[in-house]
Amino acid sequence: MRHVAPNVTPLRSTVLPSHRWPEPNFQMESPTPATKTKPPGLVGWRSKVTGTVYRNACTQTGLTTDKFTNTERDVGVQAYFFPDIHDKIVTSLSNNKANLNDAPNEKTVESVVKIQRFYRAYRARQTAMIFPSPLAKDTNELVPSCHYRSQDFVILNRVSPRTRADFELLYNLLDRWCIHETRRASEHLFKSARIAYGGLILSKEVELLRAIDSMKTKVKSERREKSYRKFLDEMCAPVVWKNGRGEPISVDTILAQKARSFRDTLERLSRESWNVDERLNTLAELRKEVETHTCKESDELTRLLDQEIYFLTRRVEGSKLNWLRRAVKMAFLRLARECLRKVQQGSKDSMRDWFQSGCTVCRSCGRLLTVEKFPRERQRRSSSCKYCLHVRARTGPQLVYQPYRRLLRDIRRHEIKMSCYGSLAFAIDAKIVYHLVNEIWHGRSAISGNDCLEELKLVRFRKGEEWTPWNSLLLTAREASLHRTVDDLEKFYGAMILQKFHTKNLQAKLRFESLTEFESLCESKRLIYSLILILIGQQDNFIKIVYLLFPSGIIKLI
């Protein structure tokens, strides 16, 4: 495209005569001299055709003005004021400045500079923790406040766990804390700081695990002592007889008196508030009593008593003799069991054997433990003990099964009321209920969607059949009481929600397929037992009917 210049004449353009191009047809117009009344003329352009002069006023230099203006009087200004916590009152300082060249003032200045330097370094570290990297989603968003601080560990001192559910809650709290802190470190720290913070998390976790394990060991020892005392308490109970008129009479037998003396001796051995001299006197008296026995248990107890007496006479601290004192109590209990068995001959079946049980070696830790320490997995017990299974690496926090045990107890109570003693609810544990609630019903009520686990209950879907995981509904207490009064489900519920119930129960049946096989086997056995009870009076036709129904494998089925 060709551009054509406007038909105008510049008023102040000049061209040197030595230029080789042809001389342009320009005319020069000089501005009029400035006067006091008229402003100076503005340079511009004039058209040759019309003679109109165009002034470029926007390109001219204006008059100079003073940028700083001092007002001669105070002017009041009204504005809104919102108080803030960061507001400060600024006051003028006095004109009497101290001489900073003095020796005390120099030390003060050095201290102030040092404090400011360390404070700036602290602020820099805090800023780096808040805004760690440009990879964050929103750098302007502050990190949410951490809910886990060092004072939260005081929870171990505030509570006194006694049951398995209490320890499950503590382990769950510890696992959630570790996962939260690890995620926070990975999101807001660099590699070196993340490694250091991970070491700090690990040290705190080890410290808390030691504290929880010490409390668990204390509870176990107390329960063990209580079980030992329970053995003697059962033997100390007097025998209740009835006289000729049928009135109960408590008789203090020789066995009860002997057991009472053993219980008193055990209480003296278990007392820890005695000093060294009182402990020595108790051990010496017990050794004199044991000398009259000639069994193997008495020899073992005598050897242990001599060891403790020797260490106490050498002024060994009592805290270093805990294992020896525990062995003394166990040997004394074995001696008491043997003596009580000899007092009452033939009472082996009536006395509980507290010290003989099957033992096996843990595959993970290699310790020799009783069979009760290995959890049962379907048809057999696990080869790893409960402690090794607990410390195994997990991706999430430890589960708390206490609410699901409550749901299972409620199911069993209702089944007992319905006289269904062979229900599948008595053959499952809380883990099955956990998977049923969370995987099938997603932890919510099937009708209202309430997710508060304390308000939910598992009830029968069809109330005429026994409760099973595929014949269940997760409802609130009010909804459950109303559902139990319904006779016809098709008339009471709509088609969509009824289809939802059927779908959930079908999913549960597929999820717990192994339980369906177990339930069918139990049903076949109950059928055989009921048939036997019906035909037990007809001995002539009993064998014939059973043989016709089950020609082979009758013994195997029963």
Give the C-alpha separation, 58 to 60, whole Å: 6
Give dist(CA 464, CA 484) in Å, integer: 10
Asked whether residue 17 is assigned to any structural domain, the reply reads no
Q: Does one domain contain both 312 and 373?
A: no
Q: For residue 547, what are its two tokens? A: 């043989």
Same domain, 287 and 388: no
pTM greater than 0.85 (yes/no): no
Give, as one character, the DSSP assignment of residue 422: T
One domain for residues 212 and 311: no
User: How many residues would you count in the chain?
Assistant: 558
Are 383 and 408 in the same domain? no
Distances (CA, A) of 359 to 221, 355, 381: 19, 11, 12
Measuring CA to CA, which residue among 436, 498, 494, 503 is closest to residue 467?
436
What are the DSSP calls for 187-234, one per residue?
Answer: HHS-HHHHHHHHHHHHHHHHHHHHHHHHHHHHHHHHHHHHHHHHHHHH
> Which residues lie below 8 Å from residue 136, measured CB to CB, with a gap of 6+?
187, 188
In 3D, which of 437, 421, 503, 517 has the Cα closest to residue 469?
437
The number of CA neighbours under 13 Å toward the Cβ of 185 is 18
Examine residue 558 and state whether it is found in any structural domain, yes or no. no
Please give the Cα distance from 259 to 257 (Å, whole number).
5
Q: Which domain holds residue 176?
A: 150-222
Query: Which residue type occupies 96?
Result: N
Shared domain check, 156 and 214:
yes
Query: Does 383 fall in a domain?
Result: yes
Q: Please report whether residue 432 resides in a domain.
A: yes
Q: Could you tell me the two tokens for 147?
A: 């809910």
* Same domain membership, residue 389 and residue 328: no
Instruction: Count other C-beta atoms under 10 Å from residue 82's C-beta.
Output: 5
Distance CA 98, CA 102 (A): 9
Nearest 10 degrees: CA dihedral of 70, 71, 76, 81? Answer: -10
pLDDT of residue 441: 92
One domain, residues 387 and 405: no
Render the burial of 546-557: b for 16+ CB within 10 Å, e for the rest.
Answer: beeeeeeeeeee
SS3 357: coil
Q: Give me the amino acid identity at 202.
A: L
Instruction: Return the number of other C-beta atoms located less than 10 Å from residue 53's C-beta.
Output: 16
- Is 420 domain-assigned? yes
Phi/psi region, residue 419 (left: phi>0; alpha: psi -120 to 50; beta: rest), is left
Among 377, 389, 405, smallest CA distance to 171 is for 389
Q: What is the pLDDT along the chain (558 residues), one digit of tens a residue?
A: 444 444 444 444 444 444 444 444 444 444 455 445 555 566 677 888 888 887 766 655 556 665 655 556 665 655 555 666 677 777 766 655 555 455 667 888 888 888 888 888 888 877 766 544 444 444 344 444 444 444 445 555 566 788 888 888 888 888 888 888 888 888 888 888 888 888 888 888 888 888 888 888 888 878 877 777 777 777 788 888 877 777 888 887 888 888 888 888 888 888 877 788 888 888 888 888 888 888 888 888 888 888 888 888 888 887 788 888 888 888 888 888 888 877 765 444 444 444 444 567 777 776 667 777 777 655 567 778 877 776 665 656 777 888 898 999 999 999 888 888 878 888 888 888 998 999 999 989 999 888 888 899 999 998 888 898 899 999 998 998 999 898 888 888 888 889 999 999 998 888 887 776 666 666 665 555 555 555 555 444 444 444 444 444 433 333
366 with 282, same domain? Answer: no
Indicate whether 372 and 424 sit together in one domain. no
> Is 79 within the bounds of a domain?
no
33 dihedral zone (left: phi>0; alpha: psi -120 to 50; beta): beta
Looking at the structure, do residues 337 and 431 belong to the same domain, yes or no? Answer: no
Q: How many helices (H) and strands (E) does the chain have?
A: 17, 11
In a domain, 441, yes or no: yes
Residue 515 CA to its chain's centroid (Å):
30
- The answer to whether 44 and 55 have CB atoms below 8 angstroms apart is yes
Q: Are 188 and 132 in contact (CB under 8 A)?
A: yes
- Quick one: 407 and 508 in the same domain? yes
What is the number of domains present in the chain? Answer: 4
The pLDDT value recorded for residue 82 is 62
Same domain, 343 and 366: no
Residue 3, in any domain of the structure: no
